[in-house]
Structure 1
């Protein structure tokens, strides 16, 4: 690596916050280096009239940044880990996973205090099939509608009356200084987070040893283990935003608790599992969770979704 470190980033306010956060960490650690941002607009930022699951999934937010690294115009990219496809393209690695911001979902509404207090027929917006599944499963009396766009765009749609409430990631709202918009943090017992939610993933070329070494100090070993367990569950079950799946791991003392569920977001039907064991054995816990979900019939949800998409 030369005297500069170039971070490729999307130009949405949240993506810029994340890239600037990593930029500040790197500047503090390496005051002699020039740490710069390369702002880019991805396909996922441009197509806002369709749901992610219909236009090709999470990779739409990542592809252009990967091309910039391959071409040598950037050394690394900073992502919300939940937006990173479960299979990285050949030649790329997750060089670091940062410690996690609050991974839970947030209830945002100008009209109601809590999700529980919303009357039948109220309209709730979400960009995620996982949250749609949670709403249909636990709050079948509410009307669920998709909402796309960055955080600011979604909040404007809420404020203009298109929706009575939104379910959003609390991490994004907190990072953007919009914590006062959160009416309620939804318990992870009610809304299980998506794989990697709240964590940042730093991606670089697998053969770029200098960048990998430079960012290694940002890696949080336990957060990484939790996120890799969650991502392994998702990957084994065809994980993408086309599948309404949640997976969330926590570590207490040295024990990991991994919970996962998958279902049908159109009906609210789901199957769920919980596995516990030493956190260093996160790969085993993930495969046991997958096995438990498949035994309960997870395959039928995946097949139904794939049939409906074709």
Structure 2
């Protein structure tokens, strides 16, 4: 039997996510055989903090290029790494069941955010997390951090940082949930759009692969992601503008929570709207319109100087 080739980054988390996807696919498609092909991306090679790179898709471009060229049959990504403007030839064919989208606090002293001493150094790779930390605890020192999940955790244990903020889903997928001290609520500490979800990308014209992948699609997760991505596409947040958004399905209803901040953290525009699961994209567009009407675009302009300041700290 011909092996189905799966493209992925070579990080521990990427391989774990690929393993999760393949296990589900084997269960849904008995007899199918898979071969993992690891591909290095710009994000793996360039060690600068993410917010300093003014481009999209640094963790997926090379992998998706391999899909486009037919070197692999499909690719597995963290969905939040996949830009909404992918190549026309490609499609997010499947979104399996999403893990918790929450951000979490990690340290080796068991201290929650409120318990960290004044002046404690907290690391994050995300401007969205940085500004929310600064709003909650302006007395902390928030510093950029890079490296894969396990590297960041090691930096806390080594004393380089007093704590870090990461996505709960990533820690869970590599078996490191025991380092979590505190889980932040998604309404109080709004995650990145798409956080916790896996995206499986294939060629749009590869109907056979698409059929195979869609057997593990989770409709609720698809609806949540559709709303979040429609929102971010309209607002055009990108890495340099901290836009938090999370959609939650309950029954046939979908509620989308969104939050944007000024560079100094003094201003915060929050929107929460509920719509039907079937109208997920429409809901995302509606929330984006409200954010823009309330001044989200003006807040975005103030972030250029803030990014330059963060570049100096990195």
Range class of TM-score, shorter chain: over 0.9
- The Cα shift of 1:306 comes to 4.9
- Change beyond 3 A, Cα 1:265–1:111: farther
Match of 2:8 in 1: 9
- The Cα shift of 1:28 comes to 2.7
> Which residues in structure 2 correspond to 1:87-236 (within 5 Å)?
87-236=85-234
Residues 112-121 or 7-16, more deviating: 112-121
- The Cα shift of 1:307 comes to 6.9
Q: Is the 8 A contact 2:25 2:215 kept in 1?
A: no
Q: Is the 8 A contact 1:8 1:74 kept in 2?
A: yes
Q: Is the 8 A contact 1:112 1:118 kept in 2?
A: no
Q: Is the 8 A contact 2:262 2:268 kept in 1?
A: yes
Q: How far apart, in 2, do the equivalents of 1:183 and 1:236 lie?
A: 35
Q: Secondary structure at the match of 1:25?
A: helix
Scaled by the length of structure 2, what TM-score is found? 0.93
Q: Is the 8 A contact 2:254 2:280 kept in 1?
A: yes
Q: How far apart, in 2, do the equivalents of 1:268 and 1:135 lie?
A: 12
- The Cα shift of 1:118 comes to 1.4
Match of 1:264 in 2: 262
Q: Secondary structure at the match of 2:227?
A: helix
Q: Secondary structure at the match of 1:231?
A: helix
Q: How far apart, in 1, do the equivalents of 2:218 and 2:229 lie?
A: 16
Per-residue deviation, residues 46-100 of structure 1 (Å, max 9, x unmatched): 111x111222444011011111112211011111111111222221110011111
Residues 163-172 or 127-136, more deviating: 127-136
Q: How far apart, in 1, do the equivalents of 2:109 and 2:264 lie?
A: 26
- The Cα shift of 1:265 comes to 4.1
Q: Is the 8 A contact 1:261 1:273 kept in 2?
A: yes
Q: Secondary structure at the match of 1:262?
A: strand
Q: How far apart, in 2, do the equivalents of 1:228 and 1:162 lie?
A: 38
- Change beyond 3 A, Cα 1:82–1:235: same
Residues 241-250 or 26-35, more deviating: 26-35
Per-residue deviation, residues 182-230 of structure 1 (Å, max 9, x unmatched): 0111111321111111111101111111111110011111111111101
- Change beyond 3 A, Cα 1:33–1:170: same
Residues 157-166 or 277-286, more deviating: 277-286
Match of 2:74 in 1: 76
Match of 1:24 in 2: 23
Match of 2:286 in 1: 288
Q: Secondary structure at the match of 1:162?
A: coil
Q: How far apart, in 2, do the equivalents of 1:87 and 1:212 lie?
A: 19
Q: How far apart, in 2, do the equivalents of 1:256 and 1:306 lie?
A: 33
Scaled by the length of structure 1, what TM-score is found? 0.94
**How many pairs were matched up?**
308
Q: Which runs of 5+ in 2 are unaligned?
A: 309-314
- Change beyond 3 A, Cα 1:76–1:268: farther
Q: Secondary structure at the match of 2:275?
A: strand
Q: How far apart, in 1, do the equivalents of 2:223 and 2:186 lie?
A: 19
Q: Secondary structure at the match of 1:3?
A: coil
Alpha-carbon RMSD across the aligned residues, in angstroms, is 1.7
- The Cα shift of 1:14 comes to 0.3
Q: How far apart, in 2, do the equivalents of 1:176 and 1:184 lie?
A: 18
Q: How far apart, in 1, do the equivalents of 2:284 and 2:101 lie?
A: 19
Q: Is the 8 A contact 2:51 2:307 kept in 1?
A: no
Q: Secondary structure at the match of 2:115?
A: coil
